[in-house]
Copies of this chain bind each other. A is one copy, B any other.
Amino acid sequence: MPGPDAASAGAAGVNPAAELDRARAGDARALARLLSLVEDGSPRARSVIRDLLPRTGGARVIGLTGAPGVGKSTTAAALVGAFRAAGRRVAVLAVDPTSPFTGGALLGDRVRMQEHATDDQVFIRSMASRGHLGGLAASTPQAIRVLDAAGFELILVETVGVGQAEVAVASLSDSVVVLLAPGLGDAIQAAKAGILEVADLFVVNKADKPDSHQVVRDLRNMLALGHHEPGAWKPPIITAVATGGLRDPGIIELEGALDAHWSWLRSSGELERRRRERAREEITALAFAELRARLAADGVDDLAARVAAGTLDPFQAAEDLLARHV
């Protein structure tokens, strides 16, 4: 891995190569500094990503999503417990795509995860959107790269299921787990939000509640409507009662199903296909963000004045704008 030049390291007071070595050895503070460094999308962040790129590709990324209240944090905590019992190093990235206005609670750093806080083989980081979905979509892949390069075998990306944003974050994962529960984010709502299509595994949580059978039934019926290619993965439905412990009903089954999905991903060639697709989406999002920044700096005043006056048509103006900015 090429080291950063001395000047840039001095400028920010952080040496990324040294921080990565510390992070790989289990230093959570070094890892936190590295993550902060890449989240802002600055030229320096880009150079850090470039440098650690050769060390990435080894981690397995698991997305966990569902409506608020469905039990995502308890399930994540239980799953982390199960992974740790198997001796695996785990990172949790809690992504909150909701804007400050809609009242979404910040994920991560919560009570259920507290018991893992003292385990130096578990790293927990929460990322909140700063009112801009594009920003989060652009910075989450960089955080995943850093955790990957830092040697985590498993990266759990937890996000609130609120429609579009959540589908976008789910697309960052190798395996997507969709959580449902009686009365909360039921199968029909999930179908409407386009979540069924992105799920590799379903967990019907709160399975001790009487209505949970109906959720499983609805889900089965909806999945039966879908088209199944021969050799394709058939998403299993796991029932669970997650309270945060690795022995919670359904957690061992979920761990097993995730391992089975991982085997299928590798043997079918789907893993490579997904990772290329993920890269494609990331590149496109970055290209749009870059163009947006250039247009904002431009102001578009001259073209806007002519279009407003009716002397230039808006389509030609758009062409002119693109032509002068790329």
Residues of A within 8 A of B (CB): 46, 49-50, 53-54, 56-57, 101-102, 141, 192-194, 272, 275-280, 282-284, 286-292, 295, 299-301, 303-305, 307-311, 313-319, 321-323, 325-326
Contact = CB atoms under 8 A, between A and B. Distances in A.
Given A276-B304, A283-B317, A323-B326, 8 more contacts: A53-B311, A279-B304, A279-B307, A280-B299, A280-B300, A286-B318, A287-B321, A326-B326
B310 A283 contact: no
B322 A301 contact: no
A290 B318 contact: yes
25 contacts: A46-B313, A50-B315, A101-B193, A141-B314, A272-B308, A276-B301, A276-B304, A276-B305, A276-B308, A279-B303, A279-B305, A279-B317, A280-B300, A282-B314, A283-B300, A283-B303, A283-B318, A283-B321, A284-B300, A287-B295, A287-B318, A287-B322, A290-B322, A291-B322, A326-B326
A279 B295 contact: no
A102 to B, nearest CB: 8
Given A283-B314, A321-B283, A277 B304 contact: yes
Given A193-B101, A288-B291, A304 B280 contact: yes
Name which of A141, A272, A289, A321 has the most chain B CB atoms within 10 A of its CB: A321
B53 A310 contact: yes
A255 to B, nearest CB: 26
Contact of A49 (B53, B54, B301, B315): B315
A304 B311 CA distance: 41
Contacts of A313: 46, 49-50, 53
A53 B314 CA distance: 10
A310 B284 CA distance: 17
Name which of A102, A291, A315, A326 has the most chain B CB atoms within 10 A of its CB: A315
Contacts of A277: 304
Contacts of A317: 279, 283, 286
A283 to B, nearest CB: 4
A256 B208 CA distance: 62
Given A291-B288, A318-B290, A321-B284, A101 B300 contact: no
A16 to B, nearest CB: 14
Name which of A305, A316, A318 has the most chain B CB atoms within 10 A of its CB: A318
Contacts of A102: 192
A126 B46 CA distance: 46
